[in-house]
Amino acid sequence: MSPASITIISPEAANGRNVVAYGLTKALSARMKTAILRPVACRKEMLTDTLIKASSSPELTAETCRGTCPCKATQDPDQTRADALAAHDRVMAQAEPDMVLVVGSDHSKVFDPEIMDLDADIAADLRSPVLLVVCTIGREPKQVMKTVQACRRTVEASGTTLAGVFVSGCNEDQKAPLQEAFKDYDRPVWTVSRKDFDSDPTAGQIREDAYRTFTKDVDLDQVLAAVEESKPRVTTPAAFQNDLLARAKSDKKTIVLPEGGEDRIIKAADYLLARDIVDLIIVGAKDAILARGKELGLNNLDKATFQAMDDESVLEPMTEKLCQLRAKKGVTPDQARQQLTDASYFGTMLVVLGKADGLVSGSINSTANTVRPALQVIKTKPDASLVSGAFLMCFRDHVAVFADCAINLNPNAEQLADIAIQSAQTARSFGIDPKVGMLSYSTLGSGKGPDVDLVEEATRLAKEKAPDLPIVGSIQFDAAWSPTVAAAKAKGDQVAGKVNVFVFPNLCAGNIGYKAVQRTSGALAIGPVLQGLNRPVNDLSRGALVADIINTVALTAVEAQQS
């Protein structure tokens, strides 16, 4: 099976890189439906059009295939990576190719040390193995080797893999010394003859000469085999977010946002509505929210449904339903009406009445104000003994789950076991094969005390309730995280060192743990996901950024798809 994409990266990105890019485009296109992606490319360059015409997806345009221009790329690398993923989605949707050939940034007279890092990061976001092009002109074989080694460190630090190396610009007498220098290298190396290349549309003969030379120097079967063997197993934060939005869009759900008067909420709503990712009900006065949106330069809010809190056509059935649900507490219609003046209660009841599939709140309300209505009227799932809060922690190259970081102060052993099982289910929901670590200051009996006893009992109960779930406990964080530490502290255990669902013994440890990791490692924290409720209701931090709100709404929609 052909890989989904290949990325060409070069520290020089001049003619030698272009010969390889053109040669691979034509060779691949003769075998399979191949499309071109240019994550960072100037709108005035001609190479993209040339590659598209040489590909088997000529219906694409350069505008479709380009992401960001070089002058903006390293000024905002996060946005550049998002733009690259968006361009990839466009190319996939329009061409439906078997292969996407990703060609990195072009040669520039302005030295930018960050551009190659960015090319490698984008390759990792796309889960694309890298083919490196290094020019031999002006370099001895040892210098070429050192250049390749330096570039490889950059590629692998991003989280992706090096599939092979093209040494370009070779004269015939240089090939043998280069092949000797790389004879023991653990990746295939192809020496590509020095040929002129011109991306101008009128220079077709020059390009065809370069292509014929390329096919003599490079065996495409070897290239494809090297790429297939080097597929990266990585999920970057940008890739996870893109996947999350795509999953939400694939089966649109309706999410209610009770805090319609908050600027961050309506900015996030505008982003989601512009991309048709979810349907939204925004609680509040329509005219006032739209007016504020115009002041903020937002153009898509009118695609939302707006729900005023004084709308009697909604309030009357909502009041009746709330009285039914709270009958055991003796809630009267007047009391119900009073509760429904709280936007969180009002929004939650929209979910109960079936007008929305889920709710996101908390940008200006406390966690308690978000969770309390859900517990009272949505309630927990029949098999759930409690509600817990997990964060999806997006590290540089993978995603993990941290729980409980939001709800339960001091869970007992049975509750801790249930949190572990809920968190494993959350992991599966987002494509993570769960391996659970029950955290403590002890690893498999190395420490003693009542806190250790609690975690060990919780581990026993979790194994009893979910016998097929890979789980280890008690275990220290370092032994759960690091294979090297696990080999010393938990020798022979099949889960230690591979944990991706981290269950903290109490809320204090969990909340400190996720925030410490988030702030010191740069991990993206998405959540908390409220686990155990009958319908998805998720809480925001009052310090949430617009991006956090976008992610949480998409996450809630994905949960609703599975309800």
pLDDT at position 35, please? Answer: 97
Residue 392 is classified by DSSP as E
| Alpha-carbon span 125 to 100, nearest angstrom | 14
Helices (H) and strands (E) in the chain, counts: 23, 18
Residue 448 is classified by DSSP as -
Q: Which residue has the tokens 């043998």?
A: 176
pLDDT at 2 over 60: no
pLDDT in tens, 140-162: 999 999 999 999 999 999 999 99
Q: Where are the beta strands (DSSP E) in 329-435?
A: 358-361, 388-394, 399-403
Cα–Cα distance list, 46 to 61, 255, 356, 368 (Å): 12, 44, 48, 57
| Alpha-carbon span 213 to 193, nearest angstrom | 7
Q: Which residue has the higher pLDDT, 430 or 366?
A: 430
What is the DSSP code string of 488-538? HHSTT-SSTT---EEE-SSHHHHHHHHHHHHHHH-PEEEEEEEESBSS-EE
Q: What is the sign, positive or negative, of the torsion defined by CA atoms of 97, 53, 27, 233?
A: negative
pLDDT at 288 over 70: yes
Cα–Cα distance list, 297 to 231, 266, 290, 291, 412 (Å): 42, 11, 10, 10, 50
| Alpha-carbon span 545 to 146, nearest angstrom | 42
pLDDT in tens, 429-483: 998 999 999 999 999 999 999 999 999 999 999 999 999 999 998 999 999 999 9
Cα–Cα distance list, 469 to 246, 420, 437 (Å): 28, 10, 11
pLDDT in tens, 214-267: 999 999 999 999 999 998 888 999 999 999 999 999 999 999 999 999 999 999
pLDDT at position 3, please? Answer: 55
On the 0-12 / 13-18 / 19+ scale of CB atoms within 10 A, 47 is buried
Phi-psi region of 19 (alpha: psi -120 to 50; beta: other; left: phi over 0): alpha
> Dmax of the chain from CA atoms?
93
| Alpha-carbon span 552 to 563, nearest angstrom | 16
pLDDT in tens, 67-122: 999 988 888 998 999 999 999 999 999 999 999 999 999 988 777 888 999 999 99
CA nearest neighbour of 376 among 417, 339, 425, 418:
339
CB contact at 8 A, 8 and 24: yes
| Alpha-carbon span 35 to 58, nearest angstrom | 8
Q: Beta strand 524-531 with 388-394: parallel, antiparallel or unpaired?
A: antiparallel
Extract long-range pairs of 448-451: CB within 8 Å, 24+ residues apart: 451/505
**Percent composition of the chain: helix, strand, coil (DSSP 3-state, to 5):** 50, 15, 35
- Please give the distance of CA 316 from its chain centroid, rounded to a whole number: 42
**pLDDT band for position 554 (cuts 50, 70, 90):** very high
Task: Report if pTM > 0.75.
Answer: yes
Q: Once rounded to an integer, what is the mean pLDDT over residues 502-511?
A: 97
Q: Once rounded to an integer, what is the mean pLDDT over residues 411-422?
A: 97
CB contact at 8 A, 13 and 107: yes
Q: Which amino acid is at 344?
A: S
pLDDT in tens, 173-201: 999 999 999 999 999 999 999 988 887 77
